[in-house]
Amino acid sequence: MFIMSEDSQRTQGRDAQSSNIMAGKAVADSVRTTLGPRGMDKMLVSSGGDVVITNDGATILEEMDIEHPAAQMIVEVAETQEDEVGDGTTTAAVVTGTLLEEAEDLLEQDVHPTTIVEGYHEASRIALEAVDDEVLGEDVDDEVLGQVAESSMTGKGTGGLTADVLAETVVDAIRHVDGDDGVVRENVNVHTEVGASSSATELIEGIIVDEEPAHSEMPVSVEDADVAIVDVELGVRTGDVDAEYSIESIDQLNAALDAEESELAGYAETVADSGVDVVFTTEDVDDRVASALANEGVLAFENVSSSDARKIASATGAARVGDLDDLDADAFGHADHVHTDTYAGEDLAFVEGGAAAETVTVFVRGGTEHVVDELERAIGDALDVVATALESGEVVPGAGATEIAIADRIRSEAAGIEGRKQLAVTAFADAIDIVPRTLAANTGQDPIDVLVDLRAEHESSGRAGLVTDGEDVSIADPVEYGIVDPADVKREAVESATEAATMITRIDDVISAE
């Protein structure tokens, strides 16, 4: 009797578990060498020849063409980590892979998958309690937020000389969007442009759009500007149906041309008479209208994307107008300064100091396209973790110190757990150790020796991490070196890694239909 189609494939029992665990471990191993300030980069080349150079875990896993369903779960762990807290994606993926590796060893010892799952969840609960105990008591002020940002960016292509400068910019950006209702992270934009070193990155209190004036004679800078956003084509109207007009005399032709000129002049006159200084339109602007507006000293931009129009409206407080008859002072927004500049051959429009003043832009500079792309990813992560730290008000020691504390707490409480579940709890602690072990390996240290020393220092002083300071690598209190992470990053990594590892461990039957 055939229940499934002849083309279906089925893998059961230990074979299914081994296949899934092996796939998960392979994905985790692919990003392990990128962890930490001394982590290596990956070059990802697509079938079309596009190249991405990064050590951001989420980006690497996203760019990889992963088909195995269990391996795809590891990718989802990284994506969840990125969406929820913005950083710690590599840690989450590596811990998940190591939990699977430990689970495989337990399965070979005839520990039932259900027992492993129960032990992992118990250990996860203990780990979260340990994170709570590691939260530093000090206030999360600008200095601490700068440390959070710098810890996040160090080793991500920012360069050791500029990470502190970029951290300042990141903190300033988040402070600008921190209001009574909390941090509005989406009001911080990141705009990249090739053509200078990363130290030239700056914060713009407003927005930047890839636009140039509709006419070369228009002003390139307007102070104290009234701003209008219109969804109107400033050109000759055309019908929606095909039509032909028969002109039988030169007088008729001249009349048609005069009517066209009058229509265009009317557009320019309406805009100029409204008193607006800068106009952004999502439609075309006829050259003759643009010329007339230039003569009136009005700065106009055409074919602005709808998303950019929304950003401009948010920054300036302008209302979008669908009819020129509605163009009046009530619909205007305001900006302290609107100007255009050229960077590496690209024309950019800057709208700064808007009346709404809720939107800011981190203007990222870099020497090459690959550099600015990696900087954009690093700054994006830093913005996320600073926002997370500011909202929660909780930070913990970095440099592997929190993981050492978590593993130590789990081992101490494992002694009170009866039965085989104790094996799974202890295995969880061994999996958490992968973070300091990997940090050690990526700095060229012996992982076993460093782990022993970290445990000893933790026992004696209560806090120990693998600190990199310039060229020196030492075991010390990371807080003294300003290496801290948001507590929520650690919590999310523990929770998402546990959920993915337990789900994969429970699978003992894989049925695939061709």
Q: Would you call 89 a catalytic residue per the annotation?
A: yes
Nearest-angstrom CA–CA distance, 362 and 168 = 11
Other beta carbons within 10 Å of 206: 24
Nearest-angstrom CA–CA distance, 28 and 195 = 35
Q: Would you call 87 a catalytic residue per the annotation?
A: no
Q: Would you call 133 a catalytic residue per the annotation?
A: no
Residue keyed to tokens 């609960």:
125
| Cα-to-chain-centroid distance, residue 332 | 33
> Two tokens at 125?
């609960």
Q: Would you call 477 a catalytic residue per the annotation?
A: no
Give me the catalytic one of 226, 277, 286, 381. 381
3-state helix, strand, coil in the chain (%, to 5): 50, 20, 30
Give me the catalytic one of 59, 80, 89, 158. 89
Give me the catalytic one of 34, 54, 59, 90. 90
Nearest-angstrom CA–CA distance, 422 and 426 = 6
**DSSP letter string over 357-381?**
---EEEEEEESSHHHHHHHHHHHHH
Helix pair angle (163-176, 142-153), 10° resolution = 130
Give me the catalytic one of 34, 54, 56, 468. 56
Number of H helices, E strands in the chain: 16, 20
How far is the CA of 427 from the CAs of 101, 123, 305, in angstroms?
9, 9, 53
Catalytic residue IDs: 56, 89-90, 381
